[in-house]
Amino acid sequence: MTRILIVDDSPTEMYRFREILSKHGYEVLEATNGADGVTLAQAEQPDLVLMDVVMPGVNGFQATRQISRGDTTSHIPVIIVSTKDQDTDRVWGKRQGASDYLTKPIDETQLISVIQQCLSAG
């Protein structure tokens, strides 16, 4: 089963992502901050990561960079999912190694489509 790590500090967003992903047959791993997200990505080797940007401590951009440039995690696609929807945020997210950048509130069809594209590209 495909495993997806959700890194988001919002219980509401986490619940929504978990609901969508479970419905589509994905196994869900969860981290509530960037540092835990990086640690979990290293330990669990998920097939994909959904990364929030605005979090306490290590933010999503920093965590994305650590995962996408890490020796054991660089093969894992990271999709940034954020309320920040400026072009500069998108460019910066891609420069940190993100495979894609989606904005909240998330559209279920778009989310699943992007996840499938990223998984098939790898």
Max intra-chain CA distance, the chain: 35
Q: What is the mean pLDDT of residues 67-87?
A: 96
pLDDT value of residue 121:
82
Q: Beta strand pairing status for 27-31 and 48-51? A: unpaired
pLDDT tier, 100 (very low <50, low <70, confident <90, very high otherwise): very high
Residue 57: strand, helix, or coil: coil
Q: Is the pLDDT of residue 58 over 80?
A: yes
Q: In order of start, what are the domains of the chain with their CATH numbers? A: 3-121 (3.40.50.2300)
